[in-house]
Amino acid sequence: MAQTSEPNKDTCTGNCAGCPSTTKCEDPRNVSAPKGLPPKADISVKHVVLVLSGKGGVGKSTVSANLAYSLANRGYSTGLIDLDIHGPDIPKMLGVEDARLQSYDGKVIEPVRVTGNLAIVSMAFLLPERNTPVIWRGPMKMTVIKQFLEDVNWGDLDYLVVDLPPGTGDEALTIAQLAPNIAGAVIVTTPQEVAILDSSKAVEFVKKLELPVLGIVENMSGFVCPHCGEEIDIFGKGGGEKEAGELGVPFLGAIPLDPEMRKAADEGRPFIIRRAGGEDPTWKSIDAIMEALVKQIEE
């Protein structure tokens, strides 16, 4: 078995070049070892909002898209980063899946404009075909996250919403280290216990990073039959609110399971703009969540 060399302060000469212990040696003469966290990205933004989930399939991207669109509709200059690098769905949901990122001066990237107040970037804009897989390890993902922050011409943003992949891996940790002015994280879950179990891990992840948990959103909470009007709890109901109480974090609200939400995403038109100002219970629940979230950030 190969032996590893540990730093020996008694025999160390201070010549770090080629030393197998360079990366773990704490001797102040060692200038080659990494020191501390990377610097924050140079981007002008007042509030960064992370959207996480403990598992996939809970509607995290749907919440991210409607949140960003809602903020933009309120007059805020809003950016949206789709960091689900292996499964980027935001462009499809916002109706810009055929767009491509443009750059000038060989470095600065122009985001895709959805409205005058809403701009987005996504790996989907860089893929040659819609079904092209992204087969990357961690370092490649970290590089593109840094580029999406620093090399994009965001301008001055009020809000930057970051749609993260499920779990608490490379993407979530990297954006938490690089993004400035993080207002906090929104955790999206569905009511059933298996989803609650995973989303609680996301809450604890955010707490360990010493970031605020802005609140929990319970998606797919109950279903009202469009034919008979009876409410059916397909995935259960109230699990997200109960979890928020147990974990001591805000509960932002519940969104019903609504076929129109699915239709809106497939058509590339966020649900929040389909029935704006209407009496639809799903629309009102999303609008109430947006209001609660903005209030959380301002407080």
> For residues 19-56, b (16+ Cβ closer than 10 Å) or e, as one string?
bebbeebeeeebeeeeeeeeeebebebebbbbbbbbbe
Whether residue 278 is annotated as binding a ligand: the answer is no
| C-alpha pair distances (Å), 216 with each of 50, 60, 141, 246, 250 | 12, 11, 27, 12, 6
Whether residue 222 is annotated as binding a ligand: the answer is no
Are 193 and 112 contacting, i.e. CB atoms less than 8 angstroms apart?
no
Cα torsion 147, 149, 155, 160 to 10°: value is: 150
Whether residue 58 is annotated as binding a ligand: the answer is yes
E strand intervals along 111-173: 112-115, 118-122, 157-163
Whether residue 56 is annotated as binding a ligand: the answer is yes
Helices (H) and strands (E) in the chain, counts: 9, 12
Whether residue 95 is annotated as binding a ligand: the answer is no
Whether residue 239 is annotated as binding a ligand: the answer is no
Cβ-based neighbour number of residue 120 at 10 Å:
27
Strands 108-110 and 102-104: antiparallel
Whether residue 184 is annotated as binding a ligand: the answer is no
E strand intervals along the chain: 45-52, 78-82, 102-104, 108-110, 112-115, 118-122, 157-163, 182-189, 213-218, 223-224, 231-232, 251-254
Whether residue 240 is annotated as binding a ligand: the answer is no
Annotated binding-site residue numbers for ATP? 54-61
Binding site, by residue number, is 54-61
